[in-house]
Chain A
Amino acid sequence: MLRDTAFSSPAQAGAPDAPRDAPSDGPAAREHRHVFTAMASPNEIVLAGVSQPQAAEACALAEAEIRRIERKYSRYRDDSVISAINARAGRGGVTVDAETAQLLDFAAELHRQSEGLFDLTSGCLRRAWDFKAGREPTPDALAVQLARIGWHRVQWDGRAIALPQAGMEIDFGGIGKEYAADRAIAVLHGLGLRHGFVNLGGDLRVLGPRPDGQPWVFAVRHPRREDEVCARIALSEGALATSGDYERFFITPDGRRCCHILDPRTGQPVRHWQAVSVVAPLCIAAGALATMSMLIGAQAAQRLSMPGVGFLLVDGDGRLQSHDPERLLQHPAPSPP
């Protein structure tokens, strides 16, 4: 359930995405771009319609919120809440704080809605799969990890969580980074800022349109041709998240592509979609829906068809399928100058 996606922001996308109106409102109309690395991703915060000192202060506070969430939920840090829960696997429960409880409730709801496809306990599969070496796991190695998966076996009563078996673990892959983007937006909104976006490694949420009311335009990269754009998505509000099979993968000697998005029931890589991009009001919802779509395969379009959600699916043969009631998706310019 690890996802890595690549987007180019308006600042990177060049001429076709430049604002239609040249900034005319003085220095405050300039865009301020703050770049940093956190959660193992390149991130950026773009603000407009404010002075440079205000933008710098706001970006610092938003970044601090993102780093707080990273510290609290990183599985790589021994002092994180996630590590504390995993360390007690098979040995009893851990009482969690209110924020963690609400995230666990949300994950439980995703598990229920996806009929078990979205599972916080499926991260252990990465122990069986070696993407660096490009080797498929043996059936025995896979069976060991599959036996450790199953959110339905986790004892979660809304206050305390207990993993019933040693070796079982949870992580917030698929929702943690997205939650951080939403929280960063809340920080910026609370400071009175209204124009800009937060992009955490391709999972992004828009604070508000450009100061002239025009939307931000985001380019979605082609899942097979790294330098090409397969769609542009214009957003004045809401969030965009993409899940794809192209970031970490290897090709087996007999030509099968093995990506890092793994089905918790079989332990096997998903194969139906090359990429799924979802537009939704919140980043955490867009991210969860994109991941669930990769996992469910053919039924994704039907499940995603709901008010307030737009999506772009790229199937195994590279064909695009979109549902776009709000007309957010733009086809790429034939030959960008």
Chain B
Amino acid sequence: MNHSNWKSELLNTLETERLLPREVISACGRVGEELKRAEIRSRLISLLTLGGLSEREAANRLEQAEKMLRPESLERLMALEFGPGWESEFSPGLAEGRLFSESDRRYVQKWRPLGVIFHIGAGNMDGISGFSALEGLLTGNINLVKLPGTGDPVSAWLAEELIRLEPKLSCFLYLFPIRSDDRKAMEELAAAADAVVVWGGDEAVRAVRQSVSPGTKIVEWGDRLSFAYLPAASINGELDQSLRLLARHIAGTDQLLCSSCQGIFVDTEKGGTLLEVGRRFLKALETEYAARAPKTLEERKRQAAIALELRTGELESLHERKRILRGRHCSVTVYGDSRLEPSLQYGNCWIRPLPASSIVSGLRPYKGKLQTVSVLGIQNLEESAASRLEERLLAAGAVRLTSPAHLSVSYEGEPHDGEFSMRRYAKRVSVQIP
């Protein structure tokens, strides 16, 4: 796309145009209809699998997208974030709105778009930039979208369809396929924006924090980590069933998502218990992974990188507190420490001790990094104990608690990393009225 004069267009749009949520919702509805077509579906699934997702996960993701684009879902989403009067909240004019009065003064409060939002998508996930921009559109913003240097065909498709089906969106949505290290272009885009939305790892977030001038809002959707927690009371219960569900979730996402389980913290200090849980977990992982021999060169390269890590870990276990349990095309590394870190992914998990009494102190160092926790066998706990444990995990920094099968399954109206995301793309304005 060529946007040589985007800067002047942008000012013009700010001055003369208004984008209402309703207009975006109906455009999304039409895109959703497109998504139901078989040839579009298969094209998008192949794009997503090229991006590294399993076919099952890609189909899953597409289904979620299709659901999300339905007008009734988007309406509910708007209602959840901005209240049942969301349409009048964003409607033009300041006459109607939520009224406040104090002595003889009267005020109206309404939601308004921030103005211009610059979205920086994560390199690791197709479609993120597109959906980030969609939230910006729903709140009436002009969206400048940086596509990863490697391209993001899914986001590009979504944007093109939206504009094709609702031409008005063309002056609210700009795609820029630029590289993150093209500092000049990045700074130019950031300078034009009211808010910079950044998805990605620490490095991407740090770079944005350093280059964005004060006064420009930064919305960070950084990398997060998720894990399972095994309370002492569940260790001897129906553990294998929970582990099977957890393994199935792991195989479904290959531990690539922020919500993917990286490993299990066990409520114990005994090395023997950890090893025992590790062996049972490995068995469950093998059920999912044993048949997954690498086929392509890319898969072999990945397998080799993991093999080098495992071999190195085995040798290091002679002088460090860790133990590697190898399975067919999967592994479990049992550590003596309680660090929270990404696993080797693709069915290579960790197990670590974390006694319930140390949950808060042990996890606080990672407070901004925690996302989902799945408590295994929570049904084995008494209600009060379960709720105490869950509150502790939330106090430590977790923002989502789910069952082992549903770590990466979302629902309509779910907050994102502990926030209602669209509210961050809008401002609450207050206007004194006569």
Decide whether A and B assemble into one complex: no
Which residues of A pack against B, CB within 8 Å? Answer: none
Which residues of B pack against A, CB within 8 Å? Answer: none
